[in-house]
Structure 1
Amino acid sequence: MTTLYFDSKHPEPRRRANIFKGDIYVFSPRPSTRKLIDFAHQLAVEAFAPHDPCEAQHHMPPEKFAEILGKLKPQFMHDPNVKDFMRDMLEDFGADSQKTYFDVPRMRTMTHGDYLRTGIALAVPPHRDTWFAGHQSQLNWWFPMKGVQPDNTMILHPGYFNRGVENISNRYNHNDWLANARGEAVQHVKKDTRNLPEITQEIDHSSDIVIQCEEGGLILFSASHLHSTSPNTSGHSRFSVDFRTVNLDDVVSGNGAPNVDNRAVGTTLGEYMQVADLSPIPEEVVVAQ
């Protein structure tokens, strides 16, 4: 059974342990999260000017929208200010700066209707991040940024945390993805032909959870949770930010969520950096995974 914790003050090790059992943590906005989200929103406002980013799809063709995202998303991801925001935020949430490693945060977009549902604004069906070579100890941090409502948010399917589903994660190779597919996202406007891992069965939606929190709030959950993008019927585009963390002790010891159906090849751990000094995870640890 999945437990939802709201604004919990659990110590960080206990929080990780609970997340590995399938529990989900939800936090209200706080200064450290607002800095990151407000910065991301300002970049989006500047990129889509003179249009509101959430309404811009109604004023331009999808190709133009994708072109803007193709510049905006890397700009946000690689801005040096972002790493400072990340360090402050993770320390604020009690992470051990020597043991905790994070990947760069990414801005996500989900447009209304069928305007743009592939490539750089991919509408993702039910999946686990571990199918994309995420480590079993990976934690997902998801922040509403702008325009998030119950009819365009993220859906979690906790009934499948300990229950495997039919999928083709075995066709995903992370090294191939880095070398070829990731950089092609902006080209996939009408149809996404990249070799993505997919679910191959229908699922029971009776356990679905839709969590609505304020802009700058946080949903924290295991990478092994089955989750998906809600169809956007809100009338405007949704913007969010997410990133991932691992604790080095968990990686080395193999501590994490159960692997019930993941067969992806490779690991994303080579892309992580330490909170304290931004150094990478030791190469011998990455190679051993």
Structure 2
Amino acid sequence: MTTLYFDSQHPDPQRRANIMKGDIYVFSPRPSICNLIAFARQMADEAFAPHDPCEAQHHLPPEQFAEILGKLKPQFMHHPQVKDFLRAMLEDFGADPQETYFDVPRMRTMTHGDYLRTGIALAVPPHRDTWFAGHQSQLNWWFPMKGVQPNNTMVLHPGYFSRGVENISGRYNHNDWLANARSAAVQHVKKDTRNLPEITQDIDHGSDIVIQCEEGGLILFSASHLHSTSPNTSGHTRFSVDFRTVNIEDVISGNAAPNVDNQAVGTTLGEYMQAGDLTPIPEEVVAAQ
């Protein structure tokens, strides 16, 4: 059974332990999140000017929209100030900066209808982030940035947290992805031909949870949760931000969510940096996974 915690005051160790069991945490907007979102929104507004980013799809061809995202998303991801925002946010949530490691944040977009659903704006069907070589102890931090509504948000499928599904995650190799596929995202406007892990069965949607939090609110959950993006029928593009964390003691000790069906090759841990001083995870820790 999955428990939803709203604005919980649990200390980080207890929160992580509950998340590893499949529980989900939801938080109201708070300054540490809103500061990052304001920065991201400014970047998006400048990139799509003179159009509102949420309405730009109604004024631009998909190829031009993808080209803008192809520049905007890496600029946001690698901006040095963004790391400062993340550090402040993690400290605000009580994460130990010496033990907590994060990867760079991603700005996500989900356009209305079938305008752009591949490549740089990929609409991923039900999946676990572990299928993309995420560590079993990985936590996902997701927060809406602009234009979120119940008909264009994220859906979790908690009934499958401890229940495997048929999938082809075994064809995903993270080293190959880094070398050949990630940088080609902007080229896939009409159809995505990259070697992505996929679910290969229909699922029961009786346990679905659609969490509608305000802009600046946060959903925190395990990378092992099956989740997807609801079809966007809102009439405009949704923007959101997400990033991932691991606690190095969890990684070393094996404190992690159960692996019920993940067969991905490789690990994303080599891309993580310490919240305290931005040093990478020790190579020997990565090599042991």
State the TM bucket, normalised to the shorter chain.
over 0.9
| Cα displacement (A) at 1:214 | 0.6
In 2: Cα distance, 1:85 partner to 1:11 partner: 21
> Counterpart of 1:140 in structure 2: which amino acid?
N
In 2: Cα distance, 1:140 partner to 1:288 partner: 22
Listed as ranges, the matches of 1:84-99 within 5 Å are: 84-99=84-99
| Cα displacement (A) at 1:22 | 0.3
Relative to the length of structure 2, the TM-score reads: 1.00
Deviation per CA, 1:122-181, whole angstroms, max 9, x where unpaired? 001000000000000000000100001000000000000000000000000000000000
In 2: Cα distance, 1:156 partner to 1:100 partner: 25
| Cα displacement (A) at 1:44 | 0.3
Deviation per CA, 1:240-263, whole angstroms, max 9, x where unpaired? 000000000000011110000000
SS class of match (1:151): helix
What residue in structure 2 maps to residue 204 of structure 1? 204
What residue in structure 2 maps to residue 239 of structure 1? 239
In 1: Cα distance, 2:137 partner to 2:78 partner: 25
Q: Which runs of 5+ in 2 are unaligned?
A: none
> Counterpart of 1:58 in structure 2: which amino acid?
H
Listed as ranges, the matches of 1:1-289 within 5 Å are: 1-289=1-289
In 2: Cα distance, 1:91 partner to 1:60 partner: 40
SS class of match (2:53): coil
SS class of match (1:145): strand
| Cα displacement (A) at 1:74 | 0.5
Number of equivalences = 289
Q: Which runs of 4+ in 1 moved over 6 A?
A: none
| Cα displacement (A) at 1:20 | 0.3
> Counterpart of 1:77 in structure 2: which amino acid?
M
SS class of match (1:57): helix
In 2: Cα distance, 1:29 partner to 1:39 partner: 15
In 2: Cα distance, 1:152 partner to 1:87 partner: 28
| Cα displacement (A) at 1:107 | 0.1
In 2: Cα distance, 1:165 partner to 1:240 partner: 27
> Counterpart of 1:274 in structure 2: which amino acid?
Q
Percent identical residues = 87
SS class of match (1:263): coil
| Cα displacement (A) at 1:10 | 0.3
In 1: Cα distance, 2:228 partner to 2:184 partner: 22
SS class of match (2:152): coil
Cα-Cα RMSD: 0.3
| Cα displacement (A) at 1:208 | 0.2
> Counterpart of 2:88 in structure 1: which amino acid?
D
| Cα displacement (A) at 1:195 | 0.1
Relative to the length of structure 1, the TM-score reads: 1.00
> Counterpart of 1:133 in structure 2: which amino acid?
A
| Cα displacement (A) at 1:52 | 0.3
> Counterpart of 2:90 in structure 1: which amino acid?
L
